[in-house]
Amino acid sequence: MDVQLKFQQLEKEMLPYKAIMSKASDTVMEQDVSKYPIFVTHKQTIDIGLKLVDPKNTSGKWSVNVSTLEEFVTRQLIQMDKLEEFKKVYKNPAIHLCLFILSDLGATFVFIPRE
């Protein structure tokens, strides 16, 4: 399967999580935690952000953690010299969700439209 098709499949798999991610995104911004919420979607155990969705409690296959750009910088997942560049490509969180997807394609940032 080509990479574009895999990304389309991943986006479809994220549909059931959009509502909860949208609500969490709003909460992160409204409570002045960050202007840059990031959702870490994964199938393995990771220690980034706060667990939002546990696949044991849902019908989905993915775990979703809510994090922030600031945590990504603190953990050096995004280097300080790349911070401004990342902010430029970061899409408006009122319209898009920023996902950091850990999958068989590797680790990738993807922006998907909100509900």
pLDDT for 56: 78
How far is it, in rounded angstroms, from Cα 90 to Cα 54?
A: 26
Total-model pTM: 0.90
The whole-angstrom separation of Cα 70 and Cα 75 is 9
pLDDT in tens, 87-104: 999 999 999 999 999 987
- Sketch the domain layout of the chain as residue ranges: 3-113
pLDDT digits (tens, 9 = 90+) for 22-60: 999 999 999 999 999 999 999 888 899 999 998 777 777
Q: If you average pLDDT over every residue of the chain, what do you get?
A: 90
For the chain, state the CA radius of gyration: 14
The predicted pLDDT at position 1 comes to 55
Burial string for 27-57 (b: 16+ CB within 10 Å, else e) reads ebeeeeebebbbbbbbeeeeebbeebbeeee
